[in-house]
Amino acid sequence: MPAQSDGWRLLARIFERQWLHLLLLVLLLGALGPALRAEAVRAGSLGGLGTPAWIALAIVVAVTHQGYVWFCWRMQLHGQLFTRLYGDRGFPLYGAGFAALALTRLAAVIAVAAANRETLPWDPAILRTMAVVAAVPVIYLFYSIHRYFTFRRALGIDHFDPSYRSASLVRQGIFRYTPNAMYVVGFLMAWLPGLWFGSAAGLVVAAFNHAYIWIHYLATERPDMRRIYAQSA
């Protein structure tokens, strides 16, 4: 009985607040419905695939990416899966998977915007200027991560290495203005292709990605941070 109880407790911790993740994802997809039926959003093609197919792929990749992070973080935090199986290689292996999915996610957003280019009824010069302006805080974010925060912490090293759990909060660079800069500012990157290509579908997919990362924050990262830093307090 104790072993069975421990198993249920482990499952409960792994799936903590994932009901909220699923509920909010369904609501978000439902909210996208009217926009995805608009003629301007469905127009165009790239590489033999129509824009709706590229949109579907972009959504699938985004869900896969965030599902991957949830699985890896929770399995490591509560079961030490990666470090038990791979030792010191656990975090680099997780990081490689994260990077591959993140790049694929961005590539899918770019493909949507390129397929659906010039579907916004606005001056392309103004849209591209907006893209350049939006890129500035994104660049500053990456500089701040490199200079003050480190990419290891950005990827969730505190799930793998307990020594990071005593690190102080970063209040330098862009993190002076918002502690959630990676979500507030980082996902401006998703808006750049839609603005640059003047794509209605690109902006819809950007809105999905930006909203969906906050679902990850509410359902996965925030509960994990409370548990991790409560343990290290």
pLDDT tens digits along 107-151: 999 999 999 999 999 999 999 999 999 999 999 999 999 999 999
Give how many domains the chain has, as a whole number: 1
Sequence-separated (6 or more) residues with CB below 8 Å from residue 101: 61, 64, 65, 68
Average pLDDT, the chain: 94
For tokens 């990071």, the residue is 164
Residue 151 forms part of a structural domain: yes
Share of the chain above pLDDT 90, in %: 87
Residue 9 forms part of a structural domain: no
Residue 105 forms part of a structural domain: yes
| R_g (Cα) of the chain, nearest Å | 19
Give the pLDDT confidence of 22-62 residue by residue, as tens digits: 999 999 999 999 999 999 999 999 999 999 999 999 999 99
Residue 7 forms part of a structural domain: no
- The per-residue pLDDT for 5 is 67
**In the predicted model, is pLDDT for residue 177 greater than 70?**
yes
Identify the domain containing residue 184 by its residue range: 14-232
- The per-residue pLDDT for 192 is 98
- The per-residue pLDDT for 4 is 59
**In the predicted model, is pLDDT for residue 8 greater than 80?**
yes
- The per-residue pLDDT for 163 is 87
For tokens 């509920």, the residue is 23
Sequence-separated (6 or more) residues with CB below 8 Å from residue 79: 10, 14
Residue 175 forms part of a structural domain: yes
Q: Distances in Å between the alpha carbon of 164 and those of 119, 152, 157, 225?
A: 47, 10, 7, 12
Residue 6 forms part of a structural domain: no
Residue 41 forms part of a structural domain: yes
- The per-residue pLDDT for 2 is 58
- The per-residue pLDDT for 233 is 42
- The per-residue pLDDT for 31 is 95
- The per-residue pLDDT for 7 is 77
3-class DSSP string for the chain: CHHHHHHHHHHHHHCCCHHHHHHHHHHHHHHHHHHHCCHHHHCCEECCEEHHHHHHHHHHHHHHHHHHHHHHHHHHHHHCHHHHHHHHHHHHHHHHHHHHHHHHHHHHHHHHHHHCCCCCCCCHHHHHHHHHHHHHHHHHHHHHHHHHHCHHHHHCHHHCCHHHHHCCCCCCHHHHCCCCHHHHCHHHHHHHHHHHHCCHHHHHHHHHHHHHHHHHHHHHHHHHHHHHHHHHC
Residue 8 forms part of a structural domain: no
Give the pLDDT confidence of 51-96 residue by residue, as tens digits: 999 999 999 999 999 999 999 999 999 999 999 999 999 999 999 9
Share of the chain above pLDDT 70, in %: 97
Give the pLDDT confidence of 145-162 residue by residue, as tens digits: 999 999 999 999 999 998
